Amino acid sequence: MTQIPAERSEMAVVRKFFEVGPSQGNLTAVDALLDPAFSLHVPLPAPGPGVEAMKTIITTCRAAFHDLQVTIEDLMQDGDRVTARFTARGVHNGEFMGLPPTGRPIVMTGIEIFRVQNGKIVELWGETNLMGLMYQLGILPAPA
């Protein structure tokens, strides 16, 4: 019988980030998981590149999407980089990027690459399906 290896520590840090950050909104835990020199590269408006920007994104998304839950679909590691493919689900009950609440449920997918050093996330690159989100929220008409 083949034994499945234990999850590497870098992967565990990223998994914990998704569990406590986006899914629970625990900003104290986010502080513990992100390096003070953390750098953020995502297509969402954020006040600067650091830890505070990440906390603002988490707070803003959780305020806009009630019961936001982020599920990791795939988690892979190569050296100090961990890639996560995820699905976020919630209900649009708060303002998001200037759009008033629609009450519509959303499902948004994305891929993020984390660089982890010494047990802390030092960098994050992310791409999310914002076009699909715009269709779901009625900002754009659904494609024919």
The tally of domains found in the chain comes to 1
Q: Say which CATH number the domain at 41 has.
A: 3.10.450.50
Confidence of residue 49 (pLDDT cuts 50, 70, 90): confident
Pairing of strands 120-128, 105-117: antiparallel
User: pLDDT by residue (tens digit) across 85-102?
Assistant: 999 999 999 999 889 999
Tokens of 131: 């076009």
Within a domain: residue 93? yes
Average pLDDT of the chain, as a whole number: 91
Distance CA 104, CA 127 (A): 22
Output the pLDDT for position 97: 85
Q: Is pLDDT at 58 greater than 70 in this prediction?
A: yes
In 3D space, the residue among 30, 6, 8, 9 whose CA is nearest the CA of residue 19 turns out to be: 30
User: pLDDT by residue (tens digit) across 11-47?
Assistant: 999 999 999 999 999 999 999 999 999 999 988 777 7
Residue 131: domain span = 9-137
Distance CA 32, CA 28 (A): 7
Within a domain: residue 83? yes
Within a domain: residue 94? yes
Within a domain: residue 143? no
Within a domain: residue 79? yes
Distance CA 38, CA 120 (A): 9
Within a domain: residue 62? yes
Within a domain: residue 2? no
Helical H segments across 83-143, by residue range? 130-137
